[in-house]
Every structure is written in C-alpha cells, then in structure tokens.
Structure 1
Amino acid sequence: MNLSLKKIISILNTQEIGTPDDLTIDNISIDSRSLQNNDKTLFFALVGNNNDAHIYIKDLMLKGVRNFVVTHIPEGLEGKANFLVVKNTLEALQQVAAYYRSLFAFPIIGVTGSNGKTIVKEWLNFLLSPDYNIIRSPKSYNSQVGVPLSVLAINEQHNLGIFEAGISTVSEMDKLEKIIQPTIGILTNIGSAHDEGFESTEEKIKEKMLLFQHSKVVIFQKNELVDKCLESFSGYIPPSGAREIFSWSFTDNSATVFVSKKEHTHENIHIEYTYKGNVSDLKIPFVDDASVENVISCLSVLLYLEYDEKTIQNRIELLYPMEMRLKVKKGINNCSLIDDSYSSDFQSLKIALDFLESQKQHQKKTVVLSDIFQSGLSNEVLYSKVAELIVSNDINRVIGIGDTISILKTKLPNAVFFKDTNEFLVQLEQLNFENETILIKGARSFQFEEIVSALTEKTHETVLEINLNAISHNYNFFKSKLKPTTKMMAMVKAFGYGSGGFEIAKLLEHHKLDYLGVAFADEGISLKTAGIKLPIMVLNPENTSFSAIIQHQLEPEIYSLKGLNAFLKIAEQKKLKDFPIHIKMDTGMHRLGFEANTIDDLIATLKGNQTVKVKSILSHLATSDDLQHKDFVYYQINLFEKLSSKLMTELAINPIRHILNTSGISNFPEAQYDMVRLGIGLYGVSNDSEEQKYLENVGTLKSVISQIRTIQSGESVGYGRRFMANRESRIATIPIGYADGISRHWGNGIGFVTIKNKKAPVLGSVCMDMLMVDVTEIDCKEGDSVVIFGESPTVSYMAEQLKTIPYEILTSISQRVKRVFYRE
C-alpha cells in the first residue's frame, strides 16, 4: 500500500497534531510487535475489550514509528510524533481501507456465510490462480479488523481479489461491504454459528446479504428461505445495472445450475450438472456433503466466468482437503482419529459426523465432545438435538467434557462425562480405546489437542518431531540481537532445513517475520499455494522459472546480466511495473553474484527501467563462522558497502541491504544494515559453543525397536560381517537407514542412538532401511522408543563425528520420514 499521509488526513477528515511532511505511508499496522513498523508506518491504536494499543505508542516511537492514528495523545508524548486524532480508530482504519479499495477496478469476489467461507476462498484461489494474480484474505481475516487489513494488502499487480466476510450480529456487514466492495458475491452454507447475535435465521441471512448490495452477481444455493430473503433484498440495484442471480440446487431445476449426484465411491462423487441447457459430468474428489457443497460454489464461479468444461474438470480434480479442519490421524491400539479439536458448534458437529461416517476405518465409532458454543439455542433444546444426531449416526459411545454437556446423561445411556480435559487424561487408560474410529471435537478453550496427542500413535513409526516452541524461542533469541529497525529474513529452503517448510513458514508468519527465503521457485510456489502471505525471495532462480515466479508473486534474486536480461524480457512481455527483484553482489564467496567489473553494466541495464524495482541488495559472507578469517569478512563488508552504495546512488534508490547470515548476526552485529538472514540458527544450531547453550533443540528424530535378538560370541551382525561379537549380546533392530538420511559412516561403532536415556552403539553397517544397535546393558523391549538425534546425540555431535556440518545431517532426512509438529 502506498498513500501519502496528507491524503490519509483528508480521508479521515481530521487534523494532524505534529509536523508531518509529505510522507508516503507504505505500511499500515495495528500490531506493535511487528518488525515492519518503521518511519513509513501509520499505526492505528485500536482499543478493544482487553487491550488498548495506545500504551504501546512510546515503544513504537523508539522503533522509529512517527505517525499514529489515535483517540487521544498519551501523556508525555505531545509534540514527539505525528498524531491523527479521531473518535474511533477502528472506524478510521475501515475508512482508509474503503478508500484504498476504491482505487482498484479489478473484480473482487466476496464470500460470506456460516460455514465454508475460508475453504471456498482457498479453493477458488487454487482454481483461479493460473489465470489471475490474486489477492485474498490471509487465513480467516474476515472480521471488522481482518477485512480492512486484507484489503490494504492489494497492490497494482493484483487483478482479482477474494475476500471473506464474517459477522456475529447486525450492523456489521454494511461496514465490511464498503471495504470489500465485491463485484461477485458468494453465499455459502447458512448454519447455526453466531445465531445468538440475531433474532432469527432470516435476519442473519438478510444481514449477510448486505455484502452483495452493489455486486453484479450473487451466487448461492437456492432454497425457500434464501429466496424469501432475496425478495426483500431485490430493492438494491448495483450502479452498473440489474443484479444477476446465479443459483444452484440439488432439488430445484429452475436454478441456474441444477446438480444431481450420479456415483459415489469412498474417494469421490460423480455429479451431473445442467447449465444453459448443457449437461456435463464432474468428478469431485470428496464425499462429505459440506465439501461437495463448497465445490459446487466454486464450480458456479467458474461457470459464471465462462471457463470451459475440460478446464473445470482438470482443476477441480486437483482440489485438496484444507488442513485446518478434520485431520485424520493414526491412533493408539489400531484406532483412527478424526481431529476436529478446535471448534464446537452444532452445525459443524453435523458436518463432522458426516465426515466420520465417510472416513470411518472401524465399525465402532466414538465421539469425544466438549460443551457446544454458538448454537443460539437453549441448552435443553441444543443437547436434545445433539442426542438425536448421535443416535441417528449410530455412535457407539460418547465422552463428554465440560459443565453443560452432562445434560446428555438423561438422553444417552452410552455416554460418560468429565468436568475437564485433565480429568479425562487421568482416566485415559481405563477407557480402553481400541479398534475404533474416534471423532475428537471440542472448543479451543478445552485444549483438546492434548487429547489428540495422547491418542495419536507414537511408538510404531519413525518420525521427526519438530518443536515449534523451540523455533519461536530461537527466532526471538536472534531477534533480540537486532536493532529495532532491522528486518529479518528466515531461510526455509530445503524443506525448512529438513524440518518442514510450510509449517515453519506459517509459524514465522505469525511472528510477523519480514521475509522468507527459499532456494528454488518450486519451494516458494509450494508455500504460496499453501497460503503463505509473507514475501518470499528465491535465491537460486532458474531462467525457466521466471514466469512461474511472477505468477505466484515470488521475488527472484538476480545475480547475472544474463539472468537480469531474461527476467526483464518476460517482465516487459507481461507489462509489469515495479516488480520486486533482489540484486546479489559477489564480494568474495565466488559462487553467485555481480562482481565489481560488472556493476556499470548492471546500472546501465536497470537505469530508467520501470518494469522492475530493486527491493534489496545482498551479498553472502564466506567465513562469518570462523573468526580466524574476520579480516576477510571485513573485506567483504567494505566491498559490499562500496558496490551497493554505488548502485543506490546511480539508480537513486533506497532498497533493503543485507549481508549477514546466522553466524554474522552474532559475530558482526555492526553490519546489520537493513535486514539479516537467519538460517541454521533458527533450527537450534550454532557453531559457537557458548551461544549453543541459549538455543533450544528443534528436531528430534525418533524410531522404535522392531526386534531384539541375542547372539553369541563370534557371531556377526549385518552386511559384510563388519561387527563380530566378543560376548553374548542383545541386538536391537531399528527401522531407519540410509534411505531415511542416516549416513552409512554412522555405523561400525562410530555412532549411537539413545534408548531409555542410555547410549546404544550402532553395530555393523547401516542398511538402507534399518540399523542395529547393542542393547546388552539396556533394559528395553520391542516397541520402545529410540532417539536417533535430538538432545543426545545432537546433530552437531553427529556432524563432528562424521566430519561434516549440521546442515547436511538435517537436510538429509528423507521426506518419507513423517514430520510431527507440536507445541509444549
């Protein structure tokens, strides 16, 4: 976003208190923790029930923020910053967003409803992204705060928007409509969520429909109640003319799209749909009713946009389940788990029970259910309906957790109840979970993720456990070394150094990281497709990937004139303007980058070119981890200063500059420039033994004992008989080998694993899928857990013994090894 401060003042119809110059604001912020807060930030001090952001203004000023929208000036700060005083800072934020939205004329899809908003938004993004540069709401930013922040992220390169709008009571949607201003409206499923905020379902539908009062078309599932609401809504006519009604239905053949189900398998549903007199077939890769309805909403958009039948089929076949809901996991004692441990309302319970039926792997079905919120019903009526659902779905037993759900005692004889999650966990073993499908469904406040963790199988598979708390700790440790104005890029290349790219990127996004770094375009595309909104720099882009980089709004590192000219050619063909690129300087690494003798040609090529914008200038240190070579580091830093300054002066630009990697952050803090790049340190590894004490272990590679056998003195173990026993020995076989990333050099007594907190030496050669260890002195049994690396041995120790570096250990772990992410 780019708006002048003077323009914002006029939008808000207020007066400034201070001395603002003609500053261009490129960052709107409501989060005082954001590392993006700087001298071009306009901070809105929002006031909520539990927080008043005015108290953070002093700290923000120390970070360089000078412009604030406030309801009052905090005591002692008069004259020390620029303040725009308004009656309501949230309304002011919405006003600015509404104006900013009006600057763009491309189509905007607005999505509202009780259920399915985020899924429809994400699926539409997937279906339409090959043809559009899409701006969409991040996560579920559909609130009075989330919507304006989403819209303010629009830039000139977007040509389609998809925003969801959520409301909990009347008089909210009209505000969101002014911000989103959708040209295409989608009404998804209407359920019971937030019923308590409305006098009736009819009132709720009418309020939601206010999002479409100026839309050119409204897409919805045709039914009697919606039709009735639509009649009273028909008085709103868009300025461009009569609104088009685009309906779909399973039962009413007068709908714009009439749908009938043809075939049903365990994996997909075949439907037949009639549109404009043409009958077509479509295979939907889901079987539950909610997903099918959401797919048809997406199908309706594609039909309205005049996509052909073949394209529709090809793209819809590739749709995938959203990970945010209803995760199926392998449980203990041959159970299967359906993880819906973060939501509890009546409508979603119905959906979850449908899903349970379609995904059940055992005849016995159990539901673990918390108190149900947001039903809009009295407890007596609500739980009577729940009981009816339980009975109709043939649930074998119900485990209720909470104060009000115990009402079910009189309605369900096969139910047991606990006052809270802890009481349930204490009695877990007595509940005898075995050979059943378990739906775990609870409101967030009940922390049902602890139940999921307890019931998930942990002992019969090799997994790399990733401690997200440790990632956060290490991130904050290095962040504490930076000046308040210094940005941070975190490297998530090579599958997040073996730890999982998307999950870690998502966590860093929560921490308001400035940039992500990947090696190749496909890594960045994967993150963007998964919903990551952070800017992503591609460090080693191949010329053949430039079109995909542009399509997915990635930002390439440019390190040669050949690459620059290739990118500029494509940028000109696509008529881009100020597309962000990053210029790499070779200051001594001699790997990639522009050298001193090519700078003049680089300047000549970029001067006057408006298709690209130099977002940053960077270089890479070759010896930042070895202070014996600190003179060479200073040589690189000085050369970087010289070359980058020349480029900035000649092109009259002020980009981000960065040269420090993880070791550089600690060893050369004076060279922070505008940003640093955090790599291996994020994952808990430092080359400095003292610094290592302050980092937390992130990854623990675990397996189990498959079999234990006793061999006699003189008998051998493994290929080549490279281990010969000199005593009677107990040998444990572990199902992990070099195909999983364990070096063959780790065998023959050099390496060890940890079992029952004791070292078990690796014997003989490491096999492709197995290794053998000596457990003669360890009291263990088959099925016991084995630590391959983590706290002991550490990856640093393994690297030292194998005469390599921790990077190689971490990135060698095969993706066939399951990653399990957890929080303490």
Structure 2
Amino acid sequence: MKSIAELHQLFLKSSGACTDTRNIIEGSMFFALKGANFDGNQFAEQAIADGAKCAIVDDEKAWGDDSVIVVDDVLKTLQNLANYHRTYLNIPIIGITGTNGKTSTKELVNAVLCKGLNVCATKGNLNNHIGVPLTLLSMDEKIEVGVVEMGANHVGEIAELCAIAQPNCGIITNVGKAHIEGFGSFEGVKKAKSELYRFIESVNGTLFVNGENQHLKSMLDVGATIISYGSVGVDNVSCKEISNHPLLSFIAKVGEKDMRLSTHLIGAYNIENVLAAISIGMYFNIDVSDIKAAIELYVPSNNRSQLIKTATNQILLDAYNANPSSMALALANFIKLDHQNKVLVIGEMKELGESSIEEHQNIIDTIIKEDFSQVFLLGTSFSQVSCSDGSFAVFSTTLDLINYLKDHPIKDSFVFIKGSRSNKLEDVVKYL
C-alpha cells in the first residue's frame, strides 16, 4: 500500500484530483468515493478509460490493473493527501466560515487579492469534507494564497476542516440561526463556528473580526492577532454615509483615508462583507486603488442578491439559501426600498428542527405589517402557520407557483425572491 508521500509524488505528476467520472480530466487521479446511493469503486474502470492517470479505490474487488491503487479509505486518503499538499505548498490559507455571507465574502476577498497575488479560492459551494480537500488539491506551486470557505451543519465539522486545511488566517462572517437541527441551538452554532477561532489561535495566526458583533467578540480567546472592521470607531476599516437605492454605495474609512465605493451589491448587510474584504486586502498589501476597483467591479452571481430586469418587472433574486437570520435581514432591506408595487416570493427555510413553525410564523408576522401588493409563500412549513387575513397565497411546490403565474402574470412590479436552495426558486424568474 502506497504512503501519502508516495501518492503525493503521483499527484504532482497528474493533472489534478477528480471524484466524478462525468468530469474526468485527462491525466487526473480519480478518487472512488462512496455515498448513500453510489459506490465510486464501481466506476474505476470507466475513469481510467476516460483518461484518468490512476484510480484510488478501497474495494479490492474493484476492477484493477497497475492504474488502480487500493487504500483503506478513499475519503480519508483524499483528506490526508490534501493536508500533505497544503503543508507542501506552505502558503497563507484564509479560512472563511459563518452563518450568512461566507460565500459573498469569499468571492469579494478573492476579487481583491487577485489584484496583486496568484489566488486560489473555493469554487461554488465546495466547502465541506470533500470540497475543502478538492480546493486544496486544486492549488499548484504558482498559488501565493488560498481562500477556503468552510461550511458546517454540526459541531466538530469546522475543526475537522481546519485540521485538513490548516488556515493561518480566518474570519467568521457572523453567527445566526441556521442548521438548528444539527447544532441543537444558537449556542451550538456559536460553538461550532468558534472552532475556526480556536484553530487560528492555536497557530498564533490572524483573525479578521467584525468589531461591532458582540457574539463574535465573545467567542474570541487569546493567541491570535486581531484585525477589526465595522462602523465608525473601529480601528482598521469602517464605513459611513450609506446609500442603498437599491445598489449599495458607501464611504469606507481605511486608516485615515476615505474610499468612496459604488457596488453592484444590494442590502446594507453586505457592508460587513465588503469591509472584511478591504481588511484582508490591506493585510496582504493590495493597493487601495486596486481594492476599490475589485469591489466595484464585482457582480454577484449564483442566485445571490442578483438584480434582474425582465421585460415587465424588476427582480431581486436571493434564492441560494435561507435561514431566519438571513431572511430577517433581507426582508428588512427590501421593505426599505421604494417601489409602488412590491411583491414577495418566499420559500420555506430548512433544517430548523423544533423551531421551524415559530421561525416561519416570525416571517409571516413581519410581512403582514407591511403593504406588499402580493405575497406568495412556498412550502409545507408555511401551510402550518397562521396568517390572520388569509391574503397570502401558499403553494406546496415551485411548479405549483409557476403554473399559477402562467395564468396570473405579474407586471410593473419589484419582486423579491428568497428561499432555501432546495426550493429552486430561481426557476420562477422566467415567468416574471
């Protein structure tokens, strides 16, 4: 059986790591992972036929020749190889986690750092026990800094990801109510996210902290350099004179200088993400003018706070994810925006456990106080809560909503769409 060092030598001569035979890269190493409904060992032969240099399997009965390497556990081998490669590269790794905003912050940090450095950042949502190793293995010797997003839905997961990626810089964007089923409570969320702080502190690294967030400040210990950002009064980077109509613009105070920013972002809640990116850019000596340019050129994608104009409506699409914290912030922002005909399309929130009905009722209680032209609710969770005047339309599935919109078109409106990823509310856009 080959050692991790030997596998790493093979990896350096390959074109990278693959885990899906549908996306085999010529000359890559195929890792035969197993899941609830599949066994990658069964696809080793296909991977080699499609051009993989070798296949890493953990079933001795799998098809094999000299191109197949048997290990005890493919997933563990993938993680150990990624950790070995991270040590081999010996570059700064920035770990990013948080309840909300971690992907937006990651994208902004990547945009900023790319102005002066060779950067590799997590692609899409590859932020779990498989995605993090793949992100690390996508880095080559030209990369000067890595930006690694870390997601979690249970206590201990961030610690595991830190053990693999070994970040020496870190940021928790915020902590809020999400994945309560896995974390057990809000305190469980804080405990889980603070695992990043504990790791960075253990290596005497650097933490970027929203100095106004009391939850984050209470989670800090000692042993790390702290760089803070927030509103006026925070030492490193702060902001003032905020405008949000609907695109966000504000003045960031960087040291003693002002940076006027006009972004393609929507919602004041994005300010902390921008300030974090500025702080990290300054730490890595990116020129202030390049930081400004990177942030102003950044356009959100992947169904995250996208402003879309159709032939008949304006749409704010934020359908990548939803939890009580992000939903409250997004609704508060949309309520403040001026438009004569504002329409809501709200999908249910997932993984809330016993608090699900309460949290969905909170959304209803917020909406009912406002003067929206129409409100469409999606998912069984909303059918279990109380709406006093019965004026909201509730649909079981996205398809049901689409069929309704076909017969009852919406025109001349500003439509806000938000819900959990599983709702696939982005499919509604073409019918607006």
Structure 2 residue 49 is the aligned partner of structure 1 residue 57: no
Give the structure 1 partner of residue 31 of structure 2.
44
CA RMSD across the alignment: 3.2
Partner deviation per Cα, 1:734-753 (whole Å, 9 max, x = no partner) = xxxxxxxxxxxxxxxxxxxx
Unaligned runs of 5+ in 1: 13-19, 235-241, 456-824
Q: Deviation of residue 169 (structure 1)?
A: 0.8
Rounded to whole Å, the distance in 2 between the matches of 1:23 and 1:369 is 47
Output aligned runs, 1:644-659, within 5 Å: none
Q: Deviation of residue 159 (structure 1)?
A: 1.1
Structure 1 runs of 4+ with >6 Å offset:
20-23
Secondary structure of 2:85's match? helix
Give the structure 1 partner of residue 309 of structure 2.
330
Output aligned runs, 1:97-496, within 5 Å: 97-212=82-197, 213=199, 214=203, 216-222=205-211, 223-231=213-221, 234=222, 242-250=223-231, 253=233, 255-257=234-236, 259-264=238-243, 266=245, 267-271=247-251, 273=253, 275=255, 278=256, 280-285=258-263, 286=265, 288-307=267-286, 309-322=288-301, 324-331=303-310, 334-357=312-335, 362-376=339-353, 378-391=355-368, 393-411=370-388, 413-428=390-405, 431=408, 433-455=410-432
Unaligned runs of 5+ in 2: none
Secondary structure of 2:70's match? strand
Q: Deviation of residue 244 (structure 1)?
A: 0.3
Contact 1:261/1:269, CA 8 A, preserved across alignment: no
Paired-residue identity, %: 27
- The verdict on how the C-alpha distance between 1:329 and 1:179 changes in structure 2, with shifts beyond 3 A counting, is same
Give the structure 2 partner of residue 627 of structure 1.
none
Give the structure 2 partner of residue 29 of structure 1.
18
Partner deviation per Cα, 1:741-788 (whole Å, 9 max, x = no partner) = xxxxxxxxxxxxxxxxxxxxxxxxxxxxxxxxxxxxxxxxxxxxxxxx
Q: Deviation of residue 61 (structure 1)?
A: 4.1
Contact 1:141/1:150, CA 8 A, preserved across alignment: yes
Q: Deviation of residue 331 (structure 1)?
A: 4.3
- The verdict on how the C-alpha distance between 1:452 and 1:307 changes in structure 2, with shifts beyond 3 A counting, is closer
Rounded to whole Å, the distance in 1 between the matches of 2:310 and 2:186 is 39
Rounded to whole Å, the distance in 2 between the matches of 1:184 and 1:381 is 37
Q: Deviation of residue 145 (structure 1)?
A: 0.6
Structure 2 residue 68 is the aligned partner of structure 1 residue 72: no
Q: Deviation of residue 23 (structure 1)?
A: 9.9
Contact 1:114/1:188, CA 8 A, preserved across alignment: yes
Q: Deviation of residue 280 (structure 1)?
A: 3.4
Contact 1:123/1:298, CA 8 A, preserved across alignment: yes
Rounded to whole Å, the distance in 1 between the matches of 2:79 and 2:48 is 24
Rounded to whole Å, the distance in 1 between the matches of 2:266 and 2:417 is 20
Give the structure 2 partner of residue 539 of structure 1.
none
Rounded to whole Å, the distance in 1 between the matches of 2:396 and 2:164 is 44
Structure 1 range deviating more: 99-108 or 62-71: 62-71
Secondary structure of 1:338's match? strand
- The verdict on how the C-alpha distance between 1:421 and 1:135 changes in structure 2, with shifts beyond 3 A counting, is closer
Q: Deviation of residue 195 (structure 1)?
A: 2.6
Rounded to whole Å, the distance in 1 between the matches of 2:405 and 2:11 is 65
- The verdict on how the C-alpha distance between 1:377 and 1:62 changes in structure 2, with shifts beyond 3 A counting, is same
Amino acid at match of 1:85: V
Rounded to whole Å, the distance in 2 between the matches of 1:121 and 1:324 is 15
- The verdict on how the C-alpha distance between 1:120 and 1:181 changes in structure 2, with shifts beyond 3 A counting, is same
Rounded to whole Å, the distance in 1 between the matches of 2:418 and 2:302 is 15
Secondary structure of 1:120's match? helix
Secondary structure of 2:88's match? coil
Higher normalized contact order (CA 8 Å, seq sep 6+, divided by chain length)? 2
Q: Deviation of residue 89 (structure 1)?
A: 1.7
Partner deviation per Cα, 1:90-127 (whole Å, 9 max, x = no partner) = 11110000001001222222211122222222222221
- The verdict on how the C-alpha distance between 1:315 and 1:54 changes in structure 2, with shifts beyond 3 A counting, is closer
TM-score (norm 1): 0.47
Secondary structure of 2:154's match? coil
Contact 1:108/1:163, CA 8 A, preserved across alignment: yes
- The verdict on how the C-alpha distance between 1:358 and 1:133 changes in structure 2, with shifts beyond 3 A counting, is farther
- The verdict on how the C-alpha distance between 1:23 and 1:372 changes in structure 2, with shifts beyond 3 A counting, is closer
Contact 1:119/1:322, CA 8 A, preserved across alignment: no
Q: Deviation of residue 296 (structure 1)?
A: 0.8
Of the two, which has the highest radius of gyration?
Answer: 1
Q: Deviation of residue 179 (structure 1)?
A: 2.4
Rounded to whole Å, the distance in 1 between the matches of 2:11 and 2:368 is 67
Partner deviation per Cα, 1:227-286 (whole Å, 9 max, x = no partner) = 22213xx3xxxxxxx4201122337x4x443634225262443335374xx363543524
TM-score (norm 2): 0.86
Secondary structure of 2:76's match? helix
Partner deviation per Cα, 1:352-377 (whole Å, 9 max, x = no partner) = 324534655x3222212222213455
Secondary structure of 1:83's match? strand
Number of equivalences: 425
- The verdict on how the C-alpha distance between 1:262 and 1:82 changes in structure 2, with shifts beyond 3 A counting, is closer
Secondary structure of 2:400's match? helix
Contact 2:176/2:189, CA 8 A, preserved across alignment: no
Secondary structure of 1:169's match? coil
Amino acid at match of 1:398: V
Structure 1 range deviating more: 125-134 or 429-438: 429-438
Rounded to whole Å, the distance in 2 between the matches of 1:272 and 1:444 is 32
Contact 1:9/1:84, CA 8 A, preserved across alignment: no
Partner deviation per Cα, 1:382-424 (whole Å, 9 max, x = no partner) = 1221123314554343212222212344345421222333333
Rounded to whole Å, the distance in 1 between the matches of 2:95 and 2:286 is 19
